[in-house]
Structure 1
Amino acid sequence: MTDDRGYLLDNRNAEAGTRFEAISELCDPWTFRHLDELGAGPGMRCWEVGAGGPTVPAWLGARAGEHGRVLATDIDVSWTLPAAGGAVEVQRHDIVQDEPPAETFDLVHARLVLVHLADRDRALRTMVEALRPGGVLLIEDADPALQPLACPDEHGPDERLANRIRNGFRALLAERGADLAYGRTLPRLLRGAGLGDVRADAFFPLTSPACGVLEAATIRQLRDRLIAAGHATPEEIERYLDAIASGRLDITTSPLISAWGRKP
């Protein structure tokens, strides 16, 4: 997903591919388990909203098979296109500005999308309306305010620097309209949208090599913005990147809240 007016982590940046790969390594097993338990399988019609990278649409396409359909949409589909083919169709689509697809779906899924949107309520309504009766909506979104630290074990100067820079990143997100406490609201919002059997859980990797890869790619992408806003000096950015590369930091991500419900 990319939007110069609001989305901070522009997909057109060279670091986007690295970020998508790291997110996939971290989150795909968690996401696929949920999709599997929610019945993703042969013949299903699925809408993957704000797809970003190709891994989730490709997995859904393999599950849907020749008699199913997966529509993968994003404002910028350049990273999604490798998933196209077979059951998977890739289309450019703005979930807030554009008309919804002229069809209904058994399953609609969005990961790390709504938290960044200014009109996230409208986007959520659009996804609920796109469900057929009995269809399932799975929303997975971050909650940076629930656990705001890059290094929860803040035992040294590098960890303190990591947490200060993460705080700067959160400030940049908030300035662009991101809701840093959005993830925790998902169960209530899904019930309010008329869905039943609403449930939720959370994924929180305390440390992983992929967490470091994701953090470094994010910092490189936002380096100039962090410096311009006074959140870090050029020397501090380089020191932080060196510390990540050394593997001595236990870098974590914001908790990913997964919430799902079924349309009556």
Structure 2
Amino acid sequence: MGQDDGYLLDNRQAEAGTRFDALAALFDASTFRHFERVGIDAGWRCWEVGAGGPSVVAWLRERVGPGGRVLATDIDVSWTGNDATEGVEVLRHDVGRDALPPGPFDLVHARLVLVHVAERDAALRTMVQALRPGGWLVVEDADPALQPLICPDEYGPEQELANRLRTGFRQLLRQRGADLAYGRRLPRLLREAGLADVEADAYFPITSPACDVLETATVQQMRDKLVAEGLATDEEIERHLANIAAGRLDLATSPMISAWGRRPTGDGSPPLL
């Protein structure tokens, strides 16, 4: 995602690229596993919603081959630079507000998008409407309320500080309209949207070097807002960053809940895969 009204982590900030790389290191393998689960193949037409970084788009382009199509959309497409990639169309698009892009699609995917979108119900409807009969929707969103601690093993003052700063971050997210319990609702929402064969699972690292990178970039990106809201001091933030750099913290992430479902064909015939 990018710079929406009140979106906390702006793609235009210097730390955004670092965050994208860390998120890719943490979650791409799980995302690609779900793509494999729905049977993505050569020739598919795919829509990557809220593309953010390039890693998922590149994987999709490789898998669908020259006969396929990948549409990558976001409200900020600065991550693309000026390089055109064969087989990939990049479009500035707000999934919660803008008209449906040309489709239909065999696969629509969004990761860490809807939890931040104020018009998330409209956005989900748009993605479902973009599917061809038999096409698959894969939605992945964090659920910070399900596991709110960045240090689940809170055994000392350094871990307590990390969790307190994470609480402040969640408060800022709520103020900007984020639904911190959205991930757990995804299976129900996909069924209510009319999708069939709905399944879901969850994944989150307990500790990883990429978690350290992600937390450092996130704190640096939001530090001015934390201080301005009285949620942390500059000294506390500097101390937390030093603790991360020293390798003294086991940093986790919120659970990433992945849910997937298929648009029915409507005539009882097998899915059009």
In 2 relative to 1, CA 167–137 (structure 1 residues): closer, same or farther, beyond 3 Å? same
- In the TM superposition, residue 228 of structure 1 has moved relative to its aligned partner by 1.1
Residue 150 of structure 1 corresponds to 150
Residue 73 of structure 1 corresponds to 73
Alignment pair present for 1:165 and 2:165: yes
Which residues in structure 2 correspond to 1:5-84 (within 5 Å)? Answer: 5-81=5-81, 84=84
Residue 194 of structure 2 corresponds to 194
Residue 237 of structure 1 corresponds to 237
TM-score, scaled to structure 2 = 0.95
Question: 1: distance between equivalents of 2:164 and 2:84?
Answer: 40
Question: 2: distance between equivalents of 1:143 and 1:158?
Answer: 24
Question: 2: distance between equivalents of 1:236 and 1:21?
Answer: 26
Q: Which SS does the other structure have where 2:153 is aligned?
A: coil
TM-score, scaled to structure 1 = 0.98
Q: In terms of mean alpha carbon deviation, does 2-11 or 251-260 score higher?
A: 2-11
Question: 1: distance between equivalents of 2:171 and 2:24?
Answer: 25
Question: 2: distance between equivalents of 1:150 and 1:259?
Answer: 23
- In the TM superposition, residue 83 of structure 1 has moved relative to its aligned partner by 7.7
Question: 2: distance between equivalents of 1:172 and 1:26?
Answer: 23
Residue 224 of structure 1 corresponds to 224
Question: 1: distance between equivalents of 2:80 and 2:153?
Answer: 36
Question: 2: distance between equivalents of 1:217 and 1:84?
Answer: 28
- In the TM superposition, residue 80 of structure 1 has moved relative to its aligned partner by 3.5
Q: Which SS does the other structure have where 1:115 is aligned?
A: helix
Question: 1: distance between equivalents of 2:83 and 2:175?
Answer: 33
Percent of aligned pairs sharing the same letter: 69
Q: CA RMSD in A?
A: 1.1
- Structure 1, unaligned stretches of length 5 or more? none
Question: 1: distance between equivalents of 2:197 and 2:217?
Answer: 38
Question: 2: distance between equivalents of 1:255 and 1:45?
Answer: 29
Query: Which consecutive segments of 4 or more residues in structure 1 shift more than 6 A?
Result: none
Q: What count of residue pairs does the alignment treat as equivalent?
A: 264
Alignment pair present for 1:181 and 2:181: yes
- In the TM superposition, residue 3 of structure 1 has moved relative to its aligned partner by 2.9
Answer yes or no: is the 8 Å Cα contact 2:97–2:119 preserved in 1: no
Letter in 1 for 2:47: W
Which residues in structure 2 correspond to 1:203-222 (within 5 Å)? Answer: 203-222=203-222
Answer yes or no: is the 8 Å Cα contact 1:62–1:87 preserved in 2: no
- In the TM superposition, residue 90 of structure 1 has moved relative to its aligned partner by 1.1
Letter in 2 for 1:117: V
| CA offsets 1:147-184 (integer angstroms, 9 cap, x no match) | 00010000010000000000000000000000000000
- In the TM superposition, residue 84 of structure 1 has moved relative to its aligned partner by 4.3
Q: Which SS does the other structure have where 1:27 is aligned?
A: helix
Question: 1: distance between equivalents of 2:79 and 2:215?
Answer: 19
- In the TM superposition, residue 134 of structure 1 has moved relative to its aligned partner by 0.2
Q: Which SS does the other structure have where 2:39 is aligned?
A: coil
Residue 117 of structure 1 corresponds to 117
Question: 2: distance between equivalents of 1:225 and 1:158?
Answer: 21
Residue 270 of structure 2 corresponds to none
Question: 2: distance between equivalents of 1:207 and 1:167?
Answer: 19
In 2 relative to 1, CA 129–169 (structure 1 residues): closer, same or farther, beyond 3 Å? same
Answer yes or no: is the 8 Å Cα contact 2:71–2:90 preserved in 1: yes
Letter in 2 for 1:224: D
Answer yes or no: is the 8 Å Cα contact 1:115–1:142 preserved in 2: yes
